Structure 1
Amino acid sequence: MKSKVTAGILAILLGGIGAHKFYLGKPGMGILYLVFCWAIIPSIIGIIEGVLYLTKTEQEFQNKYVTA
């Protein structure tokens, strides 16, 4: 079971390099973030995703991001 707090913090702090995607078991998306890490867009998306992760309930987070 993946922690939404860990995923949220990784997304906010290291979202530009896709650390949260690797943590959630989505290496393809993680590599995509790495390829575009030179641009600011993955960092912005990472912050947004981190906030979304942290505002979801534990059950919603597990259903949407972990088991999907």
Structure 2
Amino acid sequence: MDNFSSKDDGKTAGIISYFTIIGWLIAYFAIYKDNKTALSSYQLRQTLLFHLVSIVIYYAVGAILGAMFFTTGVTIGFSLYWVIKVGLFVLWIIGLLGAINGERKPIPLIGEKAQSVFSGI
């Protein structure tokens, strides 16, 4: 039989936390609570703020699109929606790649702020 090491450097919690807020909760309660590392703390703080900002942006954009539908038409509203959605996806990929590589690499625009806002994690 092969001997597998159960030692985790924090990458697992970091990676799982990027997959929706449910993934964040699983990473926090099932993995992070028993194995706190600097990397997992960093990634969990960053992804929590990313998920919260994403939710707020989606609701705000939805409200704006509703108003734009009646004033400027559908085309501009949906173009704005896709620009924002692609932008968030790019930020998500940057953060996920940092977690996969085991780096403490901040997500542009929110990564550093997350470290101070959620310093208790």
Class of the TM-score when normalised by the shorter of the 2 chains:
0.3 to 0.5
Higher relative contact order (CA 8 A, sep 6+): 1
TM, length-normalised to structure 2: 0.30
* Larger Rg over CA atoms: 2
TM, length-normalised to structure 1: 0.45
